[in-house]
């Protein structure tokens, strides 16, 4: 096994949303050590300019590289769609990104209408537009900005009257179109699935990209001879530049997870 294999996987997001991806990576790659960075102080990224998102993504990447990460998962659709091309060009480690899974939804839709809930930054990005243009022209992609959702989650109001109200509003705009697939294009949103399901019912299939990211991470680690095959107790560090409360809530009691607040 290559010595670098023992180094951790780095993961970053604008906040706690990327922990939904971390969970999939941890399930799928149980031998890997990880370092997660939640840039919650700067959340939401979704309303920021492309330049600002790039600047923050560079800062996050350098933080993780200083911690010796062997590969970086950009566990944020907004940062991926706005910054991953730059990051891949400028840094030597492999990067895994996350993009809304509109392709599988477009292949499987019967009603020819798929809904996507994502941030403004993701929906307006060049990368998302390029992917949308590859979709079969008979399929309509119905876009909805999930305005306010990330802010509420970061504020610890995942289950609240405000959330129910906001979600109902956003989703009803998509339901008008007879969608049969709903793509979640933000890593914070998988935490909303039970509430989304209550509003849209069970006939609409909800898709997110978490497992696909975990599989891709494994593939790229293997290709680069970086997979950790040692079956030892793993360590998982979570750094945040805001309160640790929301991270503690979404991670639950996992003794292998060490959560720390940083001035970052």
Query: Which residues carry out catalysis?
Result: 76, 186
Cβ proximity to ligand DGL: between 167 and 226 the closer is 167
Q: Is 19 in the site for ligand DGL (CB under 6 A)?
A: no
HEC readout, 54-123? HHHHHHHHHHHHHCCCCEEEECCHHHHHHHHHHHHHHCCCCEECCCCCHHHHHHHCCCCEEEEEECHHHH
Cβ proximity to ligand DGL: between 171 and 184 the closer is 184
Instruction: At 232, give phi and psi (nearest 5°).
Output: -110, 175
Q: Is 46 in the site for ligand DGL (CB under 6 A)?
A: yes
Cα–Cα distances in angstroms (integers) from residue 154 to residues 42, 94, 99, in the given order: 11, 28, 21
What is the C-alpha separation between 94 and 100, in angstroms, rounded? Answer: 20
Residue nearest to ligand DGL (CB): 46
What is the C-alpha separation between 208 and 194, in angstroms, rounded? Answer: 14
Which one of 76-84, 192-200, 205-213, 252-260 is the stretch in contact with ligand DGL (CB under 6 A)? 76-84
Q: Is 12 in the site for ligand DGL (CB under 6 A)?
A: no
Of positions 122, 125, 144, 228, contacts ligand DGL by CB under 6 A: 122
Cβ proximity to ligand DGL: between 22 and 45 the closer is 45
Cβ proximity to ligand DGL: between 150 and 200 the closer is 150
What is the C-alpha separation between 169 and 159, in angstroms, rounded? Answer: 15
Q: Which residues pair with 116 in a beta bridge?
A: 143, 183
Of positions 22, 36, 45, 128, contacts ligand DGL by CB under 6 A: 45
For the CB of residue 60, give the shortest distance to ligand DGL in the complex, in Å. 12
Which of 264, 12, 64, 42 lies closest to 150, judged by CA? 42
Is the bond leading into 208 cis (omega within 30 degrees of zero)?
A: no
Return the residue matching tokens 């991953």: 84
Of positions 43, 64, 72, 251, contacts ligand DGL by CB under 6 A: 43
Of positions 7, 60, 187, 209, contacts ligand DGL by CB under 6 A: 187
Of positions 17, 97, 190, 210, contacts ligand DGL by CB under 6 A: 17
Q: Is 152 in the site for ligand DGL (CB under 6 A)?
A: no
Return the residue matching tokens 């929301």: 246
Residues lying near ligand DGL in the complex (CB under 6 A) are found at 13-15, 17, 43-46, 76-78, 119, 122, 150, 186-188
């Amino acid at each position: 096994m290559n010595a670098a294999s023992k180094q951790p996987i780095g993961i970053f997001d604008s906040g706690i949303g990327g922990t939904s991806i971390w969970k999939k990576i941890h399930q799928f790659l149980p031998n890997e050590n990880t370092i997660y960075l939640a840039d919650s102080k700067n959340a939401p990224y979704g309303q920021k300019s492309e330049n600002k998102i790039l600047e923050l993504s560079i800062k996050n990447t350098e933080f993780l590289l200083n911690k010796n990460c062997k590969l970086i998962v950009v566990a944020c659709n907004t940062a991926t769609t706005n910054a991953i091309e730059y990051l891949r060009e400028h840094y030597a480690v492999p990067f895994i990104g996350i993009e809304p899974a509109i392709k599988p939804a477009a292949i499987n839709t019967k009603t020819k209408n798929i809904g996507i809930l994502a941030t403004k930054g993701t929906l307006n990005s060049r990368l998302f537009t390029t992917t949308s243009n590859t979709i079969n022209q008979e399929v309509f992609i119905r876009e909805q900005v999930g305005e306010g959702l990330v802010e509420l989650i970061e504020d610890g109001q995942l289950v609240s009257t405000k959330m129910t109200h906001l979600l109902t509003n956003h989703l009803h705009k998509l339901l008008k179109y007879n969608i049969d697939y709903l793509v979640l294009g933000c890593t914070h949103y998988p935490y909303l699935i039970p509430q989304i399901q209550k509003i849209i019912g069970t006939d609409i299939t909800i898709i997110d990209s978490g497992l696909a990211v975990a599989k891709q991470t494994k593939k790229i680690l293997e290709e680069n001879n970086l997979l950790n095959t040692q079956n030892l107790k793993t360590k998982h560090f979570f750094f945040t530049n805001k309160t640790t409360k929301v991270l503690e809530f979404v991670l639950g009691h996992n003794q292998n997870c060490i959560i720390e607040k940083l001035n970052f």
